[in-house]
Structures are given as C-alpha cells and as structure tokens.
C-alpha cells in the first residue's frame, strides 16, 4: 500500500492543487487527510470539494470544528477567519446540494482513524482534535510517555504545521536529518506530516508524506504563494498577516 497523507490545507487552493498533482505523479493508492481543510485561507469551499473528491479518509481538525461550532482557544485573527469561512460555506452560491454536501462532510468527520498498527489523528493520540505536540515536547517526559502509551506502533498527525518524527526514546528528527526519508524501526513513533497550506518550519513549500512499506517520505512542493497571499490581502476579514506568513513559512 502506497498512501499519501496530507494535513492542514487551511483553504489554500493553490497549495492543494500543487500537492494533489504531485501525489498523482507518485502513483499512490489512496490519500488520507488529517484535518483543517478550512480556516485562515481564502478558498474553503474549493478545498473542501477537492478533499471530498480525492481523499479516502478525512479527519476532523480544530478549524473544521470551529467552522461548525463556536471556535475555542483561537486568537482574534483566526477567529475572524473562521467566522468568514463559515459565511463562505453557507453563502458562497451554487446549488444547495453542493453547500449541504460540504456541511455534511464536515459534520461527519471522525476524530481518529485506525489501520492497525497505525493511528491517524489531527492533534495527538490523547486529544485527537486539539492537543499540540511540538518538537520541544521531547523534554516533557511525562507528556510523551502518556502519548506513546496510546500508540500500538505509529501515529500520524498534523496541527503544529511542523513536520518531523518523534521517537519513544524522546528524540525529534526533522525531515532534513534523514534526507526526507524515515525508515521505520522497532521503536514506536509519531510522525507530523507537516502542512499543505500554511507551513511553519521556515520552508514555505507545501509539505506532505507518503507512507510505503517501512518508509515514510516527506515531500516539499512548490506552488505560487503570491496567488494565495493576494487573495488574502483582498479579503478584508482575513488578516494580512495570514498572507505574509505564507511567504515566510512561519
């Protein structure tokens, strides 16, 4: 099985189109999406349509949840963006059945998916939607022990927008350290697959992984960042910072 795993698209249509084209060229068998299809970015409806059409498995992210309910723990910019996103989903025009299909998709997204020995979540094994696991958490032994205690072998997640591999031995391995290919060993691990639509690791290119046999390969994909940034700048309810950060990868 050759599986592409994407996450944190955040309404960035240009990035998603580039990633799906890259995935198609890799001859993968299926695509999983780990959540946050919407939020921050200027094309939530189009991104939802593409995920619905292309992904075999979709999971609930905190911004997806925020679009359906009152957002919790969001800063002011993220909150404004999610209220704008909600309005777009309901009032963007088009046939009512298409609008309903997007809402139905969001409303039925599960929080976890298991394909033993693999676990798939948006946030963490302990709190699948909202808990962040940052690289510096390797110094929080108690937290990491609790997370790994919930994993059979490996967990795939997003949420932080920072790609890399956490090992049960309290080590974080960036993609660059392994030449973008992590070989699965005997140790339990968690993989953050990075972000398609809003990378935060200093590399503005879209990021996703391909899982095949005992290898997990990180992929970086160029796209026209300026197109997405300009759409953000032209949308009063989306903070200009959301466009600026795309160019910086932060």
Q: What is the pLDDT of residue 197?
A: 98
**Length in residues, the chain:** 250
* pLDDT, the chain, mean: 96
Q: List, in sequence order, every residue forming a beta bridge with 218; answer none if it has no partner.
A: 209
In the chain, the percentage of residues whose pLDDT exceeds 70 is 100
Strand arrangement of the beta sheet that strand 118-121 belongs to: 112-115, 118-121, 154-157, 189-192, 164-167, 171-173
- Name which CATH class applies to 2-248: alpha beta
Q: What is the pLDDT of residue 67?
A: 96
Domain boundaries, the chain: 2-248
Q: What is the dihedral of CA 8, 14, 15, 20, to 10 degrees?
A: 100
User: Cβ distance 58 to 51 under 8 Å?
Assistant: yes
Q: What is the pLDDT of residue 92?
A: 83
Q: What is the pLDDT of residue 36?
A: 98
Q: What is the pLDDT of residue 70?
A: 79
Q: What is the pLDDT of residue 94?
A: 86
Beta strands in 15-117 (DSSP E): 30-33, 57-58, 112-115
Q: What is the pLDDT of residue 73?
A: 83
In the chain, the percentage of residues whose pLDDT exceeds 90 is 96
Computed over its alpha carbons, how large is the radius of gyration of the chain?
17
Q: What is the DSSP string of 93-136?
A: -S-HHHHHHHHHHHHT--SEEEETTEEEESS-SSSTTT----GG
Q: What is the pLDDT of residue 133?
A: 98
Q: What is the pLDDT of residue 235?
A: 97
**Average pLDDT value for residue range 54-62:** 98
Query: Strands 171-173 and 164-167, how do they pair?
Result: antiparallel
**Average pLDDT value for residue range 83-99:** 93
- Model confidence at 214, pLDDT cuts 50, 70, 90, reads very high
Rounded to 5°, the CA angle 102-106-112 comes to 145
C-alpha closest to that of 199 among 29, 69, 15 = 15
Assess whether pLDDT exceeds 90 at residue 4.
yes
- Model confidence at 1, pLDDT cuts 50, 70, 90, reads confident
Assess whether pLDDT exceeds 90 at residue 71.
no
């Amino acid at each position: 099985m050759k599986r592409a795993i994407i996450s944190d698209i955040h309404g960035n249509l240009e990035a998603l189109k580039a990633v799906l084209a890259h995935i198609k060229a890799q001859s993968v068998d299926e695509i999983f999406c780990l959540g946050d299809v919407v939020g921050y970015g200027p094309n939530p409806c189009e991104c939802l349509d593409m995920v619905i059409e292309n992904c075999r498995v979709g999971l609930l992210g905190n911004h997806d949840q925020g679009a359906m309910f009152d957002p919790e723990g969001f800063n002011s910019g993220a909150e404004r963006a999610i209220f704008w996103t909600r309005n777009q989903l309901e009032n963007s025009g088009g046939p009512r059945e298409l609008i309903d299909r997007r809402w139905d998709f969001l409303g039925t997204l599960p929080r976890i998916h298991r394909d033993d020995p693999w676990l798939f979540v948006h946030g963490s094994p302990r709190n699948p939607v909202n808990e962040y696991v940052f690289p510096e958490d390797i110094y929080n032994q108690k937290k990491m022990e609790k997370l790994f205690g919930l994993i059979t072998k490996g967990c795939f997640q997003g949420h932080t927008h920072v790609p890399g591999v956490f090992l049960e031995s309290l080590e974080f391995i960036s993609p660059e350290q392994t030449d973008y290919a992590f070989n699965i060993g005997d140790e339990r691990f968690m993989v953050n697959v990075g972000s398609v639509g809003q990378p935060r690791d200093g590399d503005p290119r879209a990021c996703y992984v391909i899982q095949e046999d005992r290898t997990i390969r990180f992929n970086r994909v160029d796209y026209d960042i300026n197109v997405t940034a300009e759409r953000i700048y032209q949308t009063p309810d989306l903070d200009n910072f959301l466009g600026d950060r795309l160019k910086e990868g932060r």
